[in-house]
Amino acid sequence: MKSHVSILLLLLACTNAEARELRVCADPNNLPFSNRDGEGFENRIAEIVAKELDADLVYTWWAQRRGALRNTIRAGKCDVVPGIAAGIEGLSTTRPYYRATYVFVARRDGRWAGLSSFDDPRLRDATIGVQLIGDDGANTPPAHALARRGMYANIRGFMVYGDYADAAPQSDIVAAVADGRVDVAAVWGPTAGYFARRFPSLQLAPVTPWLDGPQWPMTFEISFGVRREDRELRRELDRALERHATAIARILEDFGVPVESPNPATASN
């Protein structure tokens, strides 16, 4: 009897030792993308992928600030980072699982309803909310688009990182349009779509054209990022994303993410 118990314990130990983990780095307070309670759409997608890979989903939480990749995946603290622009330098990226664009957020009954272009003359008279990253030139494409047109005085900046003490740090730029602090805002589509659902008075319109000069695209395909040497993991992730594309699309729709059809060929080698 004792020998049977010992064998069972040994088998259990071996099973536990062989349990696979999908190690994901994500921001613990960054709705609609992720949070520590697993309420973001990137959390939901990671759960689907982990289940497909028969792996335990294990998070390393790290605020999405500058240096996040250096301190997480490149430091070996995780193997996968969701929400990476396809083809980003320094990582290998999977097939894109969605394509999104910056959008204009405006009040439906206001003067700026239907705005879709940075060349619309109405913008000259508007206070325009834009998401800012910093003061060293590494700002969002809409910030650069407005600066190129000399509309510095029109800009009202809202940090991408937001107030991290808030449960939804990125929500303020959308709320500012609803309550009249700004006339219109140019916001990353997933952020705008999620928070605009709280305000029926708001409407979204994709920024057109998708490319503002040679350097500033308004549309990005989004992938998982892995280290370049993790080729087999990338292939597994590609298969999981393809297999569950319909479920992922449903999640994005549930979160109000305005998406375009991705190009499955967009990925790094």
Q: What is the pLDDT of residues 4-25, one digit of tens each?
A: 544 444 444 444 556 899 999 9
How crowded is residue 163: how many other Cβ atoms within 10 Å of its Cβ?
A: 12
pLDDT of amino acid 262:
55
Please tell me the class of the 102-217 domain.
Answer: alpha beta
Tokens of 106: 């405006």
Question: Quick check: 171 and 105 in contact, CB under 8 A?
Answer: no
Query: Which of 115, 142, 256, 129 shows the shortest CA–CA distance to 199?
Result: 256
pLDDT < 50 stretches in the chain: 5-15, 264-265
Q: Which CATH number fits domain 20-98+221-260: 3.40.50.700, 3.40.190.10, 3.30.470.20, 1.20.120.140?
A: 3.40.190.10
Q: CATH 3.40.190.10 spans which residues of the chain?
A: 20-98+221-260, 102-217
pLDDT of amino acid 266:
52
pLDDT of amino acid 138:
67
Give pTM, 2 decimals: 0.88
How crowded is residue 88: how many other Cβ atoms within 10 Å of its Cβ?
A: 15
Could you give the CA distance from residue 37 to residue 40 in angstroms, rounded to a whole number? 8
The DSSP call for residue 149 is: T
Tokens of 203: 């409407």
The torsion region of residue 39 among left (phi > 0), alpha (psi -120 to 50) and beta comes to alpha
